[in-house]
Homo-oligomer: A and B are copies of this chain.
């Protein structure tokens, strides 16, 4: 049985741990699926390539209002799929090949679990292929997986999740999406822009319920004008035949479509590792970690979706940097262990309109007892928004009355994920909103003026001379 210094379970952010400081370590890398993890293979990267193509198609459909008459002759879906995976698949294969060629690394291409904790403190692991090995340190980076409600899984209806929907053979004429979160919002945009009729089945009344109310309400309003939304419905069963699927909802109605996408959420994979045999605490699949990404078992770290409520690649990347440092420190040496920073974590939904958020929602700020002001500034208030003929975009900012600091920012509209960055930066470095507004130039007539104007509306002009500081 092989002995390793480090075992890494999962090759998403887990695969970025090894640098030149690790060349003398014997490392086991365990991957039951494709190298590269969710982001590269079935998540952020391919979805955004589809979203971009969808945006191009949408722009063409909308071009007449800019005085440019155009029409789409056809969407070559197989070419879109080839473009995306022709680029990504070789990266995944190359990543695996690189690891296999590293003299200090052994790859276990199979599901890997804990077997026991050895007397010397190392861990015993085994794979579904029958391999057994031990490791002194373990990094759990096993990610998360799409969930499928039992009513769907059990009725035998053919369905896709985000793992498979990007490789279907043609654009569906009619796609039904169960769920209303970010995966649903992104694929509804992709398929409707490329020509599908889209039906969304929601348990509640709004899409993107995790976002600030203003975003949630306005996005749902826009969505309901483009897509057929069946709200307050639960799926109770369904069936498939050669021509598609029939879903039965709990109000007695049915939905017939040629393709079904289930987008009801993701759960962390910590329940699939027999982690209790190592003393790693897991709750509903989520591996518990402290601020140093240490699990409850000595010398076992975790990072990314398996241990994070964020399920965001930029958070996983940060945690991987933390673990990369901490693996090389003594387990208890908190003077030298690097803590993870989970403050001001932004997120985006690459639907149409695009959405980006950071910090507290208005409801969260209220619940936390802050005294604050909010401002909703429309894209159409600034010159770039005029040029775009934008009628739905806005930036909503929340500023603390007591400190003048930003508590949250929520943007829906073109390039929301870009124009939010100065707000993320201000929050991360404690820059007061009024200083942010007037202490820098904002290019006229660029899109970030919508942020500038929102800040000014909240803060007004700073006094001159400035109040004396002590």
A interface with B by C-beta (< 8 Å): 39, 44-45, 48-49, 51-53, 56-57, 59-60, 63, 66-77, 79-80, 83, 87, 194, 312-315, 317-318, 321, 325, 335-336, 338, 344-348, 356, 358, 383-384, 386-388, 415, 417-422, 424-429, 431, 435-436, 439-448, 451, 461, 464-465
CB-CB < 8 A to A63: which residues of B?
A: 56-57, 60
Give CA–CA (A442, B358) in the complex, Å.
11
Contact among B76, B80, B442 for A314, CB-based, below 8 A? B442
Contact among B74, B312, B426, B446 for A417, CB-based, below 8 A? B446
**A48-B384, A49-B387, A70-B71 known; A443 vs B420 contact (CB < 8 Å):** yes
CB-CB < 8 A to A60: which residues of B?
A: 59-60, 63, 68, 70
Q: Are B464 and A443 in contact (CB-based, < 8 A)? A: no
CB-CB < 8 A to A445: which residues of B?
A: 39, 44-45, 48, 313
Number of copies: 2
Give CA–CA (A422, B451) in the complex, Å.
12
**A60-B59, A383-B44 known; A415 vs B356 contact (CB < 8 Å):** no
Q: Are B431 and A429 in contact (CB-based, < 8 A)? A: yes
CB-CB < 8 A to A347: which residues of B?
A: 443
Give CA–CA (A441, B73) in the complex, Å.
41
Q: Are A75 and B79 in contact (CB-based, < 8 A)? A: no
- Which residue of chain B has its CB nearest to the CB of A40? B383
Q: Are A69 and B73 in contact (CB-based, < 8 A)? A: yes
Q: Are A71 and B71 in contact (CB-based, < 8 A)? A: yes
CB-CB < 8 A to A417: which residues of B?
A: 443, 446-448
- Which residue of chain B has its CB nearest to the CB of A451? B421
Contact among B72, B317, B321 for A68, CB-based, below 8 A? B72
Q: Are B75 and A73 in contact (CB-based, < 8 A)? A: no
A417 CB to closest chain B CB (Å) equals 4
Give CA–CA (A419, B325) in the complex, Å.
30
Q: Are B415 and A447 in contact (CB-based, < 8 A)? A: yes
Q: Are B441 and A424 in contact (CB-based, < 8 A)? A: yes
Contact among B312, B435, B436 for A444, CB-based, below 8 A? B312
CB-CB < 8 A to A49: which residues of B?
A: 386-387
**8 A-B contacts, Cβ less than 8 Å apart?**
A45-B445, A49-B386, A59-B60, A70-B71, A418-B446, A420-B443, A425-B440, A429-B439
Contact among B51, B336, B441 for A346, CB-based, below 8 A? B441
- Which residue of chain B has its CB nearest to the CB of A83? B67
A19 CB to closest chain B CB (Å) equals 10
Q: Are B447 and A428 in contact (CB-based, < 8 A)? A: no
CB-CB < 8 A to A348: which residues of B?
A: 443, 446
CB-CB < 8 A to A57: which residues of B?
A: 63, 66, 68, 70
Contact among B80, B387, B426, B440 for A67, CB-based, below 8 A? B80
Give CA–CA (A44, B80) in the complex, Å.
37
**A66-B56, A67-B53, A383-B44 known; A440 vs B428 contact (CB < 8 Å):** yes
